[in-house]
């Protein structure tokens, strides 16, 4: 037996939302990164989430890894690790004292058929804390002939409140049409 359900309609009004859209960037031209700055103005949200769908602007090489930097810091102040599968086997890796948080392939190269994109959902926990090093976690994946699914976490060894987050690829630019949305999750 199949169960079919027509929609009830979106729930407007009523209780206040605890999950809110803050900003969206959709690239109208290629770009080396998508950066959300001025995050200090969102300090009333306990956590931040970024949902990104992207594609590489270049046709050479393989699928691109998702990299993340916080507060524009290019020093060796990051640690990361991930668990990943690529359709045949699984493996894990980690790094410390790195200049960025490294994820696994999330974006197909431009040589793939038009329309192919990869995606990631990134959580920044307690982003405005000034007493904790900042932790990031993300689920990312791409299905493009170079398949990858990965669960990653990153550490920014700095107790500063997060004021900006930069999302970029390990190689090259993000393509036109790549989109990232920033959401805030309220706490107590």
Partner 1 sequence: MATPTYDLLASTTLTTSASSVTFSSISATGKGDLVVTINSLADSGTTNFAIRFNGTTTPYSSVIAYSDGSSAASYASSSSIDLMAFGGATTMPAIVTATVLDYSATDKHKSVLARGDRADKQASMTAGRWASTAAVTSVTIHNTTTNNYAVGSIFNLYQLVSE
Site string for partner 1, 12-31 (x = CB under 8 A): x---xx-xxxx-x-------
The residues in 70-109 that bind partner 1, with binding defined as CB under 8 A, are 83-90
Token pair, residue 110, equals: 């431009």
Q: How far is the CB of 131 from partner 1 (least distance, A)?
A: 25
Residues in CB range of 152: below 8 A, 6 or more apart? 80, 81, 82, 83, 101, 102, 103, 104, 137, 138, 139, 140
- What is the total count of residues that contact partner 1 (CB under 8 A)? 54
Scanning 70-78, 93-101, 162-170, 177-185 for contacts with partner 1 by CB under 8 A, the matching segment is 177-185
In whole angstroms, give the CA distance from residue 170 to residue 20: 30
The residues facing 122 across adjacent strands are 50, 138
Binding site for partner 1 (CB under 8 A): 1-12, 16-17, 19-22, 24, 51, 53, 83-90, 113-121, 139-144, 147-151, 177, 179, 181, 183-184
């Amino acid at each position: 037996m199949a169960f079919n359900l027509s929609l009830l309609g979106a729930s407007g009004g009523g209780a206040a939302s605890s999950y809110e859209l803050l900003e969206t960037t959709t690239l109208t031209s290629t770009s080396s990164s998508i950066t959300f700055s001025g995050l200090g103005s969102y300090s009333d949200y306990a956590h931040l989430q970024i949902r990104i769908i992207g594609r590489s602007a270049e046709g050479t090489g393989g699928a691109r890894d998702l990299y993340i930097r916080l507060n524009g810091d290019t020093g060796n102040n990051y640690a990361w690790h991930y668990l990943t599968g690529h359709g045949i086997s699984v493996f894990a890796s980690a790094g410390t004292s790195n200049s960025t948080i490294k994820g696994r392939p999330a974006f197909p190269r431009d040589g793939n058929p038009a329309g192919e994109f990869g995606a990631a959902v990134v959580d920044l926990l307690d982003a405005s804390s000034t007493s904790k090093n900042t932790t990031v976690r993300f689920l990312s994946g791409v299905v493009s002939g170079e398949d990858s699914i990965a669960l990653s976490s990153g550490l920014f060894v700095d107790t500063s409140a997060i004021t900006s987050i930069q999302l970029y690829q390990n190689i090259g630019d993000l393509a036109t049409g790549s989109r990232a949305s920033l959401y805030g999750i309220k706490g107590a």
